Amino acid sequence: MAEHAPHSDARDTFPKLLMHHAQVRGERPAIREKDLGIWQTWTWKALADEVRALACGLAADGFKRGDHFAIVGANRPRIYAAMAAVQCLGGIPVPLYQDAPAAEMVFPLRNAEISHALAEDQEQVDKLLEILPQCPSLRHVYFDDPRGLRNYAQAALSSYDNLLERGRESLRRDPAFLETEIAKGRGSDTAGMFFTSGTTGVPKGVVHTYDSLIIPARTAAELERLGEGDVVLAYLPPAWIGQNIFSCAQAYVTGYCIGCPESADTVMNDMREIGPTYYFAPPRILENLLTTVSIRMEDASRAKRWLYRRFMAIAEHVGGAILDGKPVGLLDRALYALGDLIVYGPLRNVLGMSRVRIGYTAGEAIGPDLFRFYRSIGINLKQLYGSTETAVFVCVQPDGQVKADTAGPAVPGVELKFTAERELLVRSPGLFKEYYRNAEATLEAKDAEGWFHTGDAGYFDPDGHLKVIDRVKDVGKLADGTLFAPKYLENKLKFFPYVREAVCFGDGRDRVCAFINFDIEAVGSWAEKRNMPYSGYTDLASRDEVYELVRECIERVNADLAADPELANSQIHRFLILHKELDADDGELTRTRKVRRRFIAEKYGPLVEALYTGRDMAHVEAQVKYEDGRSGVYAADLKIRSAKTFPAAAAARAA
Amino acid sequence: MSAPELQVQENLQRVGEVILSVQGVSLSFGGVKALQDVSFDVREREVRAIIGPNGAGKSSMLNVLNGVYHPQRGRIALREHVFSGMNPRRAAELGIARTFQNIALFRGMSVLDNLMTGRNLKMRASFLQHAIWLGAARREELEHRRAVEEIIEFLEIPHIRRTPVGKLPYGLQKRVELGRALAAEPSILLLDEPMAGMNLEEKQDMCRFILDVNDHFGTTLVLIEHDMGVVMDISDRVVVLDYGRKIADGTPAEVRANQAVIDAYLGVSH
């Protein structure tokens, strides 16, 4: 099945690989796109032809080796053709997030002195034209979809079709030019630049060479035995390095086919039609998919619901083990096979995952139940760890060694170690070259020995799997010096559908305590089922029954923590349920819904003190901002309860 | 590289000659005088709005243009054709399509099928040929499907292609209705309150689509609208009706400054 191209130096850049595929598998599909309701195929040969013409057109427009080229648009064959055309000329494609506001595009354009750009449609063209005065280097803006752009008279603007046309002509006149340009490329040349959002300060352009993209892409492809028969659905932003790895680097390395969805709204449907074999989704998307399924199941007939419940129980019991190739009893196997026929198979089909051989998830912590759900119905979902600076593949869970709470062992060729502060350091062939024109930040992130400081804190579990728990800057220590990773605890709590937000305290203290926000919808419907009348969040927050519910969640987390020697001391001793939902308008959450722990600790200082002084009641008086801009003061007495903690079994054994 | 300059010129001359003119039209239902001696014209490729308070005769005017009502007096000239009364089928054949204030789609049919019905007049193959899926009918259907798919893409509704219209939210149904009217490839499109009952975001979307239709297909648009803000933003010229009479006609700025219009909208003490 998988055919591995020999690692010859001759094919060390994307353009060289592209021309190679056009030769050896010219008629096989390289990209499929759904256009006007029908899947259209670009073969490797067609793609290579388009790229050649496009490159000649760009050269005619004055695009030179070493120039940067901005690309703003969704996954479209033409976007990828443009990237390759730029690379043919020794240029550097800089994909930008298509949902970024115009102002955020100024920095990348100026930083890389971008002279040429491709915009997908009117929306993106408008943004680029808006910032044109601030970016004097930008001289050519090409657009793919001409809709709405007919009356634009800006001199910098021309259509992709026009560029292609002119390119074809100059290619006819001088066919040798491009071959020479492609041959000039080296593996050590810059292949692309990816801007990281930069939560603090200015964004940074992460520079990757062909080597740093191709080597990890090839290693991972060999690990997972990817070949030309594989299919990927490209549905995440091309500006994200992961999408670039999946739809460029690995496609070039293996010759597999990528599918471009018709629009962002049709992804689910398109996925069902294209049937990817290799799939990536962040936990958020997997959760949304599961929610869709659950809602549809609730609307199904009674018989179907019964079947679903019955067989999902079996799947939960043995599905994961079967996928891992572990021994499972004959009866269970037979039942699972039956379930596969009538429940799991159709379910995978609805999810568009019938053919998924390898599925990855990463980016944030995934709930163990969510993770196990996908594995139990026979989808080989695995976790990986990586970042823009490391070209994604740092850790991957190999088949048969999949766990819900780790990111797997290091990929071959990757070295990992931890600093005393538990910060993860990475050294690998996939490391970025530098931050563009930011030597200071480069030095800070990549030390003299070539170790990249990830900023993530974690440790290896007994099997040598990486476990990332939090950002280093958020990790603290309990009074006895053991590790305190608030986000890890909060995530564990939030995996329970009843818990919406949690804020854990413990840095420099003798034990961990927590504020809880329950999920009003989940707890609301729980209350309705038990005929518990309530008026709203605040009312429910004061009920003993709800405290009991939350306590059970916390105790389950505690039991889990007790089993982990590193975290056994982080068990949550006391908690309270906040009288209001944490809100970004009150400054308690960031706009992306991350808790601002320090701010909350200050604002609710008396409550934190009450948690630690052992009282079982606390008085709170807090400013509330209403949505119309007025503010008022809210006062309440909150109950504080204790949760059961467990002896640190594993820790005791280890000690 | 001479293309852009050419396009600019075209833009300057976007609005062309008079394509449709209404001359002294009066319409009454028994004693109710819905329209009294109304005259105005519509130029090619322009966005022409008809506004007025409730009961001013806006929908009646549209129904006259579309041939649903026959005016007792006056005439309508469409290019070289002159009528005193139109009928809807003839209107459609002459390139006039419309949407309705209360959505008039086939609720049980998919978006795609609804749009295909808009191609009805363009179908040339005989019933028999369609029934046995003969070469010509098959080719024709593929061609219609392609035209419809282009509209689906144009209106950004590929995700609901197969969804029954009845299941869609109101704003999307309105968009589908616009799509069905477009499927007939009209030269004049009559829109009856395209933004009625929409929220701000849906209104903005609809405005964009209306302007895009005008720009992309070169369609002449006649629209009735309640929402003054919307009308003033997207129309080239506006006719104002009140109690069946035309009280003003001109560019949005002129109409906005017209005392009779202000009185009609804000009321005036008698």
- The SS3 assignment for A621 reads strand
**Residue A151 and residue B7: Cβ atoms within 8 Å?**
yes
A363 vs A339, more confident: A339
Q: Which residue has the tokens 């962040």?
A: A282
What integer is the mean pLDDT of A515-541?
90
Mark which residues 155-174 of A lie under 8 Å from B by CB. 155, 157-158, 162
Q: What is the pLDDT of residue B102?
A: 82
How many C-beta atoms lie closer than 10 Å to residue A136's C-beta? 11
Nearest to A37 among B161, B215, B216 (CB): B161
Q: What is the pLDDT of residue B5?
A: 40
Mutation choice for A interface testing from B112, B159, B207 by most A CBs within 10 A: B159
Nearest chain A Cα distance for residue B208, angstroms: 10
Predicted confidence (pLDDT) at residue A258 exceeds the cutoff of 70: yes
Mark which residues 259-288 of A lie under 8 Å from B by CB. 262-263, 265-266, 269
Question: Which residues share a beta bridge with A509?
Answer: none
Please name the residue of chain B whose CA is at the shortest distance from the CA of residue A153: B4
Q: How confident is the model at residue A654 (pLDDT cuts 50, 70, 90)?
A: very low
Q: What is the pLDDT of residue A81?
A: 97
Q: What is the pLDDT of residue A5?
A: 44
A545-570 per-position pLDDT tens digit: 999 999 999 999 999 999 888 889 99
Predicted confidence (pLDDT) at residue B96 exceeds the cutoff of 60: yes
B5 touches chain A (CB under 8 A): yes
* Beta-carbon-side half-sphere exposure of residue B43 (alpha carbons within 13 Å): 12
Q: What is the pLDDT of residue A9?
A: 55
DSSP code, position A570:
G
B46-95 per-position pLDDT tens digit: 999 999 888 888 989 999 998 889 999 998 999 888 887 778 888 888 89
What integer is the mean pLDDT of B2-31?
71
* Beta-carbon-side half-sphere exposure of residue B166 (alpha carbons within 13 Å): 4
Q: What is the pLDDT of residue A655?
A: 35
Predicted confidence (pLDDT) at residue A182 exceeds the cutoff of 60: yes
Predicted confidence (pLDDT) at residue B20 exceeds the cutoff of 90: yes
Q: What are phi and psi of A351, to 5 degrees?
A: -75, -10
Q: How confident is the model at residue B269 (pLDDT cuts 50, 70, 90)?
A: low
Nearest to A262 among B7, B146, B158 (CB): B158
> Chain-centre distance of CA A570, in angstroms?
28
Predicted confidence (pLDDT) at residue B8 exceeds the cutoff of 60: no
Share of chain B residues as helix, strand and coil, in percent rounded to the nearest 5: 45, 25, 30
CB burial string B61-86: b at 16+ within 10 A, e below: bbbbbbbebebeebebebeeeebeeb
Query: Which element (helix H / strand E) includes A492?
Result: helix A486-494
The whole-angstrom separation of Cα A592 and Cα A443 is 29
How do strand A395-396 and strand A381-385 relate by DSSP bridges?
antiparallel
Average pLDDT over chain A, rounded to an integer: 91
Reference A645, options A525, A524, A523, A561; nearest CA is A561
Please give the structure tokens belonging to residue B205. Answer: 């979307």
Which amino acid does the sequence have at A613? T
Q: How confident is the model at residue A636 (pLDDT cuts 50, 70, 90)?
A: confident
Taking every pair of Cα atoms in chain A, the longest distance, rounded to a whole number of angstroms, is 86
Whether A118 contacts A80, CB under 8 Å: no
Q: Which residue has the tokens 């797997």?
A: A408
Question: Which residues share a beta bridge with B75?
Answer: B23
Predicted confidence (pLDDT) at residue A120 exceeds the cutoff of 60: yes
Q: What is the pLDDT of residue B15?
A: 84
Within A381-513, residue ranges assigned H as helices are 439-445, 486-494
DSSP string, A217-286: HHHHHHHTT--TT-EEE--S-TTSHHHHIIIIIHHHHH--EEEE-SSGGGHHHHHHHH--SEEE--HHHH
Nearest chain A Cα distance for residue B154, angstroms: 8
Q: What is the pLDDT of residue A201?
A: 67
A299 touches chain B (CB under 8 A): no
Which amino acid does the sequence have at A77? P
Q: Residue A438 burial (CB < 10 Å; 0-12/13-18/19+)?
A: middle
B75 touches chain A (CB under 8 A): no
- The SS3 assignment for B64 reads helix
Predicted confidence (pLDDT) at residue A6 exceeds the cutoff of 80: no
How many C-beta atoms lie closer than 10 Å to residue A268's C-beta? 17
Q: What is the pLDDT of residue A615?
A: 85
Most confident of A87-91, B8-12, B72-76, B77-81: A87-91
Task: Among A23-37, A184-198, A238-252, name the one with the lowest average pLDDT.
Answer: A184-198
B149 touches chain A (CB under 8 A): yes
Please give the structure tokens belonging to residue B140. Answer: 């024709």
A653 vs A584, more confident: A584
Q: What is the pLDDT of residue A652?
A: 44
Q: What are phi and psi of A194, to 5 degrees?
A: -125, 125
**Residue B4 and residue A147: Cβ atoms within 8 Å?**
no
Mutation choice for B interface testing from A40, A140, A151 by most B CBs within 10 A: A151
Residues in A touching B145 (Cβ below 8 Å)? 37
A466-514 per-position pLDDT tens digit: 999 888 988 989 998 888 999 999 999 988 889 999 999 999 999 999 9
Whether A92 contacts A67, CB under 8 Å: yes
Residues in B touching A36 (Cβ below 8 Å)? 146, 149-150, 152-153
Nearest to A148 among B5, B8, B212 (CB): B212
Reference A364, options A270, A494, A463; nearest CA is A494
Question: Which residues share a beta bridge with A206?
Answer: A194, A435
Task: Among A6-10, A423-427, B32-36, name the one with the lowest average pLDDT.
Answer: A6-10
What integer is the mean pLDDT of A365-380?
92
Q: What is the pLDDT of residue B56?
A: 87
Mark which residues 11-50 of A lie under 8 Å from B by CB. 36-38
C-alpha dihedral (A529, A535, A541, A542), degrees to nearest 10 = -100
Query: Which element (helix H / strand E) includes B172?
Result: helix B170-183
**Residue B8 and residue A158: Cβ atoms within 8 Å?**
no
Q: What is the pLDDT of residue A199?
A: 55
**Residue A148 and residue B149: Cβ atoms within 8 Å?**
no
Task: Among A106-115, A136-145, A559-568, B109-118, name the one with the lowest average pLDDT.
Answer: A559-568
Predicted confidence (pLDDT) at residue A146 exceeds the cutoff of 80: yes
Question: Which residues share a beta bridge with B27?
Answer: B35
Q: What is the pLDDT of residue A501?
A: 92
Residues in A touching B161 (Cβ below 8 Å)? 37
Nearest chain A Cα distance for residue B11, angstroms: 6
DSSP string, A574-593: EEEE-SS---GGGTSB-TT-
Q: What is the pLDDT of residue A565?
A: 84
Nearest to A36 among B7, B150, B212 (CB): B150
**Residue A266 and residue B1: Cβ atoms within 8 Å?**
no
A150 touches chain B (CB under 8 A): yes
A210-254 per-position pLDDT tens digit: 999 999 999 999 999 999 999 999 999 999 999 999 999 999 999
> Chain-centre distance of CA B220, in angstroms?
8
B183-237 per-position pLDDT tens digit: 999 999 999 999 888 888 889 999 999 999 998 899 999 999 877 888 888 999 9
Q: What are phi and psi of A29, to 5 degrees?
A: -70, 135
Mutation choice for B interface testing from A150, A159, A267, A270 by most B CBs within 10 A: A150
B227-257 per-position pLDDT tens digit: 788 888 899 999 999 999 999 999 999 998 9
A272-288 per-position pLDDT tens digit: 999 999 999 999 899 88
Mark which residues 189-228 of A lie under 8 Å from B by CB. none
How many C-beta atoms lie closer than 10 Å to residue A106's C-beta? 14
Q: How far is CA A274 from CA A79, A562, B130, B154, in A?
A: 20, 45, 31, 23
Predicted confidence (pLDDT) at residue B173 exceeds the cutoff of 50: yes
How many C-beta atoms lie closer than 10 Å to residue B222's C-beta? 25
**Residue A148 and residue B215: Cβ atoms within 8 Å?**
yes
**Residue A265 and residue B158: Cβ atoms within 8 Å?**
yes
Most confident of A176-180, A365-369, B3-7: A176-180
Contacts of B93 (CB under 8 A, 6+ apart): B121
The whole-angstrom separation of Cα A219 and Cα B261 is 74
